[in-house]
Amino acid sequence: MKPYYLQIAHMLSAYHPDDVIAGIQAWLEGVEIGMHRQGWKPVIEKPINREYFELGGLYYIEDKSHIKSHHEMFVMPPCPQCGETLYLQYICTKDKTNKVGWQSLWLCTNDDCSYKEYSLKSLNEWYKELKKKEA
Ligand SMILES: [Zn+2]
């Protein structure tokens, strides 16, 4: 088996270099703020019938229950459409399709709800505002 970095380099050759750099920046940002904050949970077994990505020999699956436990640390606002809890997603500002310079996106934890709101505030700015005050 090839070393992981060679596998990664091989996969990246399918993309435009600018997109690769944007992707790496998003990835570094993701690591910095913690994958779990974005609702990704590592699993060992390759997931079947669901979206995942592979990183460092682990499979990451979207895990909204984890987002909910994360929300115990933060006061997340309710969805204006359905009342369920909202969560934040990171947006890459280097992405050329992101002309406005959006830094984050509010999404609803309700799978049936399509609520979306883009924000110019970074995740760190939002989390500072949303952090529950120590008792
Ligand atoms: Zn909703």
Domain boundaries defined on the chain: 4-130
112 pLDDT above the threshold of 90: yes
Please tell me the distance from the alpha carbon of residue 35 to that of residue 33, in angstroms, as a whole number: 7
Residue partners of 54: CB distance under 8 A and separation at least 6? 60
Q: Which residue has the tokens 């969560």?
A: 87
**Å from CA of 118 to ligand 1 middle:** 15
pLDDT band at 135 (very low <50, low <70, confident <90, very high): very low
pLDDT at position 38 is 65
pLDDT-derived band of residue 66, with 50, 70 and 90 as boundaries?
low
Both tokens assigned to 84? 């369920």
- 8 phi/psi in degrees, rounded to 5: -65, -45
Instruction: Give the separation between CA 27 and CA 29, rounded to whole angstroms.
Output: 5
**What residues pack around ion ligand 1 (CB closer than 5 A)?**
79, 81-82, 84, 108, 110, 113, 115
